[in-house]
Chain A
Amino acid sequence: KQEVTQIPAALSVPEGENLVLNCSFTDSAIYNLQWFRQDPGKGLTSLLLIQSSQREQTSGRLNASLDKSSGRSTLYIAASQPGDSATYLCAAFSYNTDKLIFGTGTRLQVFP
């Protein structure tokens, strides 16, 4: 059974810092891994999708990596801004299921 864990649960940093959010999963037979952003009381915005054959994906200041063998993914945010404040969720899509399994998220606050 796939389980997804995110560390840390919360993070508070000053503006301008580079930061890393961690995601680990127990079943390495994943089809892809997706990172989302969620603002309070809102739906999820897809940030990046990494397919199982890929090692990383980049979009603007965001870079996500995937290491299937160790069951880990990281989301790197460069030069953080107050507008990046939100909850970041990772989710794994496994070969033996047709659904996303989510972690509990990292709540990020970037202060000016």
Chain B
Amino acid sequence: DTGVSQDPRHKITKRGQNVTFRCDPISEHNRLYWYRQTLGQGPEFLTYFQNEAQLEKSRLLSDRFSAERPKGSFSTLEIQRTEQGDSAMYLCASSLGRGGADNEQFFGPGTRLTVL
């Protein structure tokens, strides 16, 4: 399978715990995006990377959230001191990011987080 993969697919945690999600983009894709989606809504942008550089962060990304892409390949998204409002589907996407049709984004299956 050469698509975008995410791990875990589901995570249930108690309020106050830390969680970490992983995303493996399509090989050779330079851009990697994180989005969050709540029930009945479209995905909302959280942050994105161009290779290993984090170029933009949404105001949705409070200081409890941190994302990394250390070698320009896979990425991790960590949420510290989780709150019930963090319950959502976390989606990862990647693209070549070289303009035109290369900006087409391909999404992974998502990680569904439930905070009890």
Contact = CB atoms under 8 A, between A and B. Distances in A.
B56 A93 contact: no
Interface string B50-62: 0000011000000
A100 interface: yes
B48 A98 contact: yes
Contacts of A42: 109-110
Given A98-B55, A102-B42, A46 B110 contact: no
Contact of A105 (B42, B45, B101, B109): B42
B28 interface: no
Interface in A55-108: 89, 91, 93, 97-105
A104 B42 contact: yes
A17 B33 CA distance: 36
Contacts of B4: 43
A101 B45 contact: yes
A49 interface: yes
B2 interface: no
Chain B's interface size range is 20 to 34
Of A31, A34, A100, A101, most B-chain CB atoms within 10 Å? A100
A45 interface: yes
A36 B107 contact: yes
Given A51-B100, A51-B101, A89-B42, A99 B109 contact: no
Interface string B30-50: 010101000011111100100
Chain A's interface size range is 20 to 34
A19 interface: no
B76 interface: no
Contacts of B45: 99-101
Contacts of A46: 104-107
B70 to A, nearest CB: 21
Interface in B56-108: 56, 91, 93, 100-101, 103-108
Given A32-B100, A98-B31, 11 more contacts: A32-B101, A32-B104, A34-B104, A36-B107, A42-B110, A43-B91, A51-B100, A100-B43, A104-B40, A104-B41, A104-B42
